[in-house]
Structure 1
């Protein structure tokens, strides 16, 4: 792509006329099904939105234009605009459900045509004034694009490297300058939400947020740089943006000057939760489907007692566990966003780590098919590349660790007895439960009572251990799950003691290496708690509720977590792995998703 000397003419010219959005369901799960059916069978020959077309676009390093146009006609951008401003954005869980059909097919498409818009606009929904909120909503609803210009991080990769600075202009407003080489949709955005340095140093007041609308900026000061070649998300439009002494009006400032770091901490809670509950879970679902297909098409077929079926059953249990944690994080954003800072970081950290391990396991199952570039299996290698970019690699891990490490000291002073009022409410663990709404203005980055929020999730473990004792009479598997719950409840006390020992060490200003080990343990315990809570609250008779309400998947997931933690876990009762593998195959044959929702696939 050639660099353009103009600020906004290209994107505006390419913007479609007023979108004629078809009549779509109001209910979120129904809209998710609508999108699934709209995109069609991904393996059908000739489907312009299927794997053949999406992989061809990836090979050409081009966005899949036909599918982007289809999603625009559906009005995907309306999913990122709050209902009060004319959009369809309700709760975070509902949004993740609607995005999963797109992300299961193509993570790069989900980011390029969708999620990035919310990552940018969330700062405006959180702290913008009425004009900024209204104009951002209108831009998106009219088919325009908005993207985000991150500030530079210490652990920067190409996407996070480089930054912009602003100084007061003599006649009012600001003058902004700087350059970033890799920004998604930089070459076709109509507006940028920019985290800009407005003060020296690295303190909390160092950056501010600006809404840069290209039609309000002088063309000579905005230079769109050529497309950047990335290893993952090759069909997404990554390009550079240079601002050269660009005058910016005073009313472009979002919130107050110096509020940028705080706004990032608040809005990244939404980004982390959606990346986990949207891209990572959907990607794991697709990766597991490739592996099941490969085993089913092999010479021996699917052998319930075989090694490969044991691997697939284990990854299936991990997927359901990751989704349990992700849904809890998404519903917490909706129900109690004031307490979502630490949980959102823990969800992202745990799901990313488990996904990385599971992809390695699935690669071994796929064998040579994992390197196939055709439409049947080529999507697996694409997923491996794209998911690395979606999680921002090491930078994404460092970002979540920066939130979690300080929290370890508060764990040392928390009470872990699961008293009434301390345990997270059951409403967090009911996938597809009562409709909720995300209020961005309630997002908070300040410290909270450790008995609430993330630690309320952790308190589920001792609570569930007590309740599961009452289910022992149902059979050996419930008894085994009750025993496992006791092991994990004891580990909660052990974690608190280790955090207390850590807190007694002199504060050197840098986290002790032991802190990172404790983060691993902490996040796996949260995943275990979410597993048990979803199993407890599952309702038999709902789509695949029978599977979730039975102990097998939670038994296998907690056993795998326990082994990762080095805990003494009992042997699984006979038949658990085989029956869970059979449940996985049943979903595959019936055309159902592998996540908590068991959605009908096109």
Structure 2
């Protein structure tokens, strides 16, 4: 017996509530979002509608009155919204990013109070960056000094390039509370616009942007804004520690934005190739086109697997999230950037035009998605953070240390996840990364050996062994990282993605009867692509896999054009 997988069932219900996205009379539709983008207008009405439907509840943990018990639900909802419009998804989802430090390190009273604010539909923002300092948070210049009341603080300074900077009711703000150097000089404060005092907190001008044109990318200026003792998150001097742990969650949580963008881009590519007449037939009938579509779909499979394992690891492997988050955030947006580029090659000039193909939706999604790779640390920032754990990862792999039960819970979609325990997050992972460290067992698993060609398993086995031999000998010498560190980080991301695909298939193939799982079609396409990315010579015979996949006619309805998720998870027991 099987039942619908909860996150997908709920997302289908939500999609029905939102209406047909192609209907211009529907509030949250493609045509309306294109008009808003053209005028650089904030999607106020759409965000208000999402509030009315109850989306903010998915940003608040169950313990504080919300619906966030696991990130399967939240990820699927974010992907659903992003599939319609990235600008709306980014504008609305920012509330979770701003609130996350409180869920991680706030007091019960802080969390309950902020939860009430979120559930009432008030936006929350995260104020980290400032003009001229980029990602160097230790150079923060915004200062908080003792106020008139005992324990109170007064803030002076400016945060710049802040999503919802002018609209947020509360801004979680990184400030300097000590003149000393180092992370202990910084603290996180909840600055409530309603309590900041007249003129103490004002929004700065919206910054014109190439993508997400309607989003409120602006800033916040503090001129004596007051914050009481209850506004300090995690304690004075604990801002960086709290932020690093919160970012582990938010970095993973932003990656479904990429999946939503990939869904829309790939759907546009499939539809165009199916409808376009060329050389006496349809474009999709050409093997070279089918191969390109199949490779793009396989890239989406890879990204989906990494996102799902990452999201479930938040509950199942929280101590290891410092590695998992850096890997998933560095990897997924870059994969989707390449996917969108490849689909654009199929569309040709239509990828750049405004009114020829579906009103110009492709050029919008291509522009909008570029920002996702920058959120909560760029690809390079996350790879740099991963490099700080290289030697530990190499040692833990050689020791074969892994949390087998945690991996099994994360991978088996029929098993319930344990409760969300964000207090267990650690700045550095004591165990390494169990998902990657499970690869040797997976590559020797009898079911996988019977399913995956030996040559493909050998490529993955050699890649993971050689990588960890290099990581085990890694030594930090100080100063700027050498270029090879970023190459090693990329190879680690590919090993994580390979393990994610194998884990999901191995733990769930018996539950699923859909076509993509028959004879492990999605798995073989994904692993073949990953093997190429790891440096294996392209296998001409593998082209048949991609050509067959690219020739599938996308299913109508809620599901994206090609995905291991919707049809699959709905069949899980």
TM-score by length of 2: 0.90
Task: Determine which of 472, 496, 516 is the counterpart of 2:486.
Answer: 516
Distance (Å, rounded) in 1 between the aligned partners of 2:561 and 2:417: 21
2 CA distance for matches of 1:479 and 1:30?
A: 31
After superposition, give the CA deviation of every residue in 1:332-370 in whole Å (9 maximum; x if it has no partner): 001121211111110111112212222221110111221
Secondary structure of 1:372 counterpart:
coil
Choose from 378, 382, 385 the match for 1:396: 378
Asked if the contact 1:155/1:395 (under 8 Å) is kept, the reply is no
| d(CA) in 1 for partners of 2:139, 2:402 | 47
Q: Deviations over 1:81-129 (max 9, x none)?
A: 122222111101211112221110111101212x211111111111112
| 1:339 to 2:320 alignment | yes
1:128 and 2:128 equivalent?
A: no
Report the counterpart of residue 257 of structure 2 in structure 1: 279
Distance apart, 1:483 and its partner CA: 2.7
Give the deviation of 1:526 after TM superposition: 0.9
Q: Secondary structure at the match of 1:413?
A: helix
The match for 1:241 among 205, 212, 220 is 220
Q: What SS is found at the alignment partner of 2:565?
A: coil
Deviation at 1:459, TM superposition (A): 2.5
Secondary structure of residue in 2 paired with 1:528: helix
Q: Provide the rounded CA distance (Å) in 2 between the counterparts of 1:588 and 1:174.
A: 56
The structure 2 residue matched to 1:288, chosen from 229, 241, 266, is: 266
Q: Distance in 2 between matches of 1:182 and 1:203?
A: 24
SS in 1 for 2:396: coil
The CA RMSD measured in Å over matched residues stands at: 2.9
Match of 2:571 in 1: none
User: Is 2:504 the partner of 1:534?
Assistant: yes
Q: Which deviations, in whole Å up to 9, do the C-alpha atoms of 1:59-78 show, x marking residues without a partner?
A: 11112333222211101111
Q: 2:469 aligns with which of 479, 488, 497?
A: 497
**Other-structure match for 1:79:** 58
2:95 aligned with 1:117: yes
**Alignment gaps of 5+ in structure 1:** 1-24, 473-477
Does the aligned pair in 2 maintain the 1:538–1:549 contact within 8 Å? no
Aligned residue for 2:221, secondary structure, equals strand
Give secondary structure in 1 for the equivalent of 2:26.
Answer: coil
Relative to structure 1, is the Cα distance of residues 338 and 501 closer, same or farther in structure 2, using a 3 angstrom cutoff? closer
Pairing of 1:212-291 with structure 2 (within 5 A): 212-276=191-255, 278-291=256-269
Q: Does 1:316 align with 2:297?
A: yes
Secondary structure at 2:395 match in 1: coil
SS in 2 for 1:194: strand
8 Å Cα contact 2:254-2:375 kept in structure 1: no
Offset of residue 395 of structure 1? 5.2
Partners of 2:128 and 2:496 in 1: how far apart? Answer: 29
| Contact 2:249-2:325 at 8 Å conserved across structures | yes
Deviation at 1:433, TM superposition (A): 4.9
1:354 matched to which residue of 2? Answer: 335
- Which of 558, 566, 569 in structure 2 is aligned with 1:598? 566
What secondary structure sits across from 1:575 in the alignment? Answer: helix
> Partners of 1:597 and 1:126 in 2: how far apart?
29
Q: Do the aligned partners of residues 458 and 446 (structure 1) sit closer, same or farther apart at CA in structure 2, a change above 3 Å counting? A: closer
Aligned to 2:430: 448
SS for the counterpart of 2:243 is: helix
**Partner residue in 1 for 2:287:** 306
Structure 2 CA distance for partners of 1:571 and 1:83, relative to 1, 3 Å: same
2:421 maps to 1:439: yes
Aligned in 2, Cα 1:306/1:531: closer, same or farther, shift over 3 Å? same
For the 8 Å contact 1:43–1:376, the answer to whether it is kept is no
Equivalent residue of 1:220, what SS?
coil
1:466 aligns with 2:466: no
Residue 318 of structure 1 deviates from its aligned partner by 1.0
Contact 2:124 2:172 (8 Å CA) reproduced? yes
User: Is the 8 Å Cα contact of residues 431 and 597 (structure 1) preserved in structure 2?
Assistant: no
Farther-moved stretch of structure 1 (335-344 vs 297-306): 297-306
Q: Is the 8 A contact 2:327 2:382 kept in 1?
A: yes
**Greater displacement, 375-384 / 253-262:** 375-384
Cα pair 1:32 1:99 within 8 Å, conserved: no
Is 1:485 the equivalent of 2:457? yes
Cα distance in 2 between the residues matched to 1:271 and 1:106:
20
- CA 1:62 to 1:133, structure 2 compared with 1: closer, same or farther past 3 Å? same
Write the deviation string for residues 547-590 of structure 1: whole angstroms up to 9, x where unpaired.
1353332222222222222235655357322322234x243589
Provide the C-alpha distance between the structure 2 equivalents of 1:381 and 1:201, rounded to a whole number of angstroms.
Answer: 47
Judging changes above 3 Å, is the alpha-carbon distance between structure 1 residues 259 and 404 closer, same or farther for their aligned structure 2 residues?
A: same
1:326 to 283, 295, 307: 307
Residues 194 and 210, structure 1, Cα contact 8 Å, conserved in 2: yes
Return 5+ residue gaps in structure 2 as ranges: 569-573
The structural deviation recorded for 1:44 is 2.5
Partner in structure 2 of residue 197 of structure 1: 176
Query: Which shifted more, 43-52 or 210-219?
Result: 43-52
Question: What is the aligned partner in structure 2 of residue 385 from structure 1?
Answer: 367
Contact 1:148 1:194 in 2 (8 A): yes
What are the equivalent positions in structure 2 for 1:367-378 lying under 5 Å apart?
Answer: 367-374=348-355, 376=358, 378=360
Query: Of 547, 564, 581, which residue of structure 1 is paired with 2:550?
Result: 581
Query: Number of paired residues?
Result: 560
Distance 2:40 2:564 in 1: 33
Q: CA separation of 1:417/1:83 partners in 2, compared to 1, >3 Å: closer, same or farther?
A: closer
- After superposition, where does 1:46-195 map in structure 2 within 5 Å? 46-113=25-92, 115-152=93-130, 156=134, 164-169=142-147, 171-172=149-150, 173-195=152-174
Query: Could you list the per-position Cα deviations for residues 170-223 of structure 1 after superposition, in whole angstroms to 9, with x for gaps in the alignment?
Result: 543112111123222222221111111223455221311111112221112222
8 Å Cα contact 1:159-1:183 kept in structure 2: no
Q: Secondary structure at the match of 2:225?
A: strand
Work out the CA distance in 1 between the residues paired with 2:129 and 2:559. 43
Contact 1:162–1:180 under 8 Å retained in 2: no
TM superposition shift of 1:412:
3.0
Shift of 1:419: 7.8
Contact 2:315 2:417 in 1 (8 A): no
Residues 289-332 of structure 1: CA distance to partner in whole angstroms, max 9, x if unpaired?
11111101110325355212111100111111111011101100
Rounded Cα–Cα distance in structure 2 between residues aligned with 1:556 and 1:429 = 19
**Contact 2:334 / 2:373 at 8 angstroms: preserved in 1?**
no
2-side partners of 1:153 and 1:223: how far apart? Answer: 16
Contact 2:316-2:406 at 8 Å conserved across structures: no
